[in-house]
Amino acid sequence: MIKRMIIFSSLLLLFLAGCQSTEGGQDGDQEQLEISTTIFALEDFISKIGGEYVDVESIYPPNADAHTYEPSSREMVDLAKKDLFIYSGVGMEPFASKAEDILENENVEVSAIGEDIPLRGEADHDHGEEEEHYQEEEAEDNGDIIIDGINDHYHSGDTASLEAETTIDEDVAEWNWYFRTADSEDWELDEDADNSAFETQINDTLEVKLELKDADGEVITESGIVELLVDNHDGESGIGDPHVFLDPIISIQLAENITNLLIEKMPEHEAYFTENFEELKGQLEQVDQELAQTIENADHPQVIVSHAAYGYWEERYGLEQISIHGLSSSQEPSQSALVDIVDTAREYDLKYVVFERNISSRISEIIQDEIGAESAVLSNMETITEEDIENDEDYFSLMQKNIETLETVLND
């Protein structure tokens, strides 16, 4: 992946060099700011605040999954023709930091508009860039066995790899790797492990240990226990939830940051931008009130959702999301997690599984079939559909549809 991105960046920089002098961002006074952005909510806020003085377009095509999308070379070239590239800066757009590196040599200002917003569940860290998932820790060392390759954390579905070496002088006939989930007392032998190497697709947090035996089957030594931590960005493990734009109160802060940026770029239109912001703020406050009333007055707060995008509604309004995928749609549940979801759905007699149009989930469909549930749809405000575009939907019309969906699924 890193090698591919280096090649991509090098080729793109060569291409951009040819158009830099004539097609870069504009300098001096101008009638409109040409802006590229990412998340649909940002595009809509920028458009509403900037009004006639901005021309803004999301880089995402309809129905794109914001968690996994990477722009083409042509789309990156289009970015280089703009005055501004605005992205959330909260860990939602994995390509954005790379785009920022590429665009810094162009006349394109880059702004991570939400980088100073505290995220639900985060520990102190710079969330302007995606966290590196593979950070080497100190090797596990019991004096006889050293295990390298321990990662800071994994996501469900990742491949965990460990490599061991021994300092003992005796001949080792068997390298036996054992593993167990964190809630199990019984160790299981990994029949597929290749002597000093251990590798597995990890779905739950695992404890792993290595046992060395001689030719007579006698145990020579045993390593300490290594923990392979699964962190699915669930808002409870120190990694921030990036779905801030679903929270109307936090969205007011995003909108204010956008307003300040536009005023900085076009100070002569400060009153215009400020007036538009105040109108937008009032609409967001109204959404906040309607969400609070809908969830507070519901028959039950539980809802099954395809991915964990609705944590801010949990924190602010008391919704209880039962998420099938993690904060990213690529974070698939373990088998035990699926069983828990089905059991919970039956415990609360939940009649709906909520899908999102930009995220396809076969696993969600399986759970729907298993519990005999109906389907419903929420807009996660990451991207929108062709149909939404044709119907001139905006943040507020889609939020109203979300509220109507909640009224249905929380009262049946």
DSSP notation for 129-184:
SPPPS----PPEE-SSEEEE---S-B-TTEEEEEEEEE---SPP-EEEEEEEETT-
Give the dihedral sign, CA 288/345/401/240.
Answer: positive
C-alpha 372 chain-centroid distance = 29
Task: List beta partners, residue 352.
Answer: 374
| Phi/psi at 277 (5° precision) | -65, -45
Concatenate the DSSP letters of all residues of 349-384 into one string.
Answer: T--EEEEBTTB--HHHHHHHHHHT-EEEE---SS--
Reference 228, options 142, 140, 354; nearest CA is 140
Parallel, antiparallel or unpaired: strands 109-112 and 84-87: parallel
Q: Which residues contact 46 (CB under 8 A, 6 or more apart)?
A: 35, 37, 54, 56, 86, 258, 262
Task: List beta partners, residue 110.
Answer: 85
CA distance 269 to 311: 36
Q: Which residues contact 268 (CB under 8 A, 6 or more apart)?
A: none
CA distance 355 to 365: 9
pLDDT the model gives residue 73: 83
pLDDT the model gives residue 159: 73
CA distance 184 to 151: 21
Q: How many CB atoms lie within 10 A of CB 55?
A: 16
Tokens of 406: 């909640």
| Phi/psi at 254 (5° precision) | -60, -45
| Phi/psi at 22 (5° precision) | -115, -20
Q: Which residues contact 231 (CB under 8 A, 6 or more apart)?
A: 153, 154, 155, 237, 238, 239
For the chain, list the domains and their CATH numbers.
2-128+242-284 (3.40.50.1980), 140-228 (2.60.40.10), 298-409 (3.40.50.1980)
Task: List beta partners, residue 207.
Answer: 180, 227
pLDDT the model gives residue 153: 54
**In this structure, are residues 36 and 86 in contact, taking their beta carbons and an 8 Å threshold?**
yes
For the chain, the residue count is 412
**In this structure, are residues 281 and 49 in contact, taking their beta carbons and an 8 Å threshold?**
no
Tokens of 32: 């409109």
Give me the residue label for tokens 């090098």: 10
CA distance 128 to 99: 13
3-class state of residue 52 by DSSP = helix
Residue environment code for 157-181, b if the CB has 16+ CB neighbours within 10 A, otherwise e = bbebbbebebeeeeeeeebbbbbbe
For the chain of 412 residues, list the mean pLDDT of each consecutive stretch of 10. Answer: 42 47 47 94 98 96 85 85 93 80 82 92 49 38 71 59 85 91 84 86 81 91 82 51 95 97 97 98 98 97 91 94 79 76 91 84 83 91 92 97 97 90
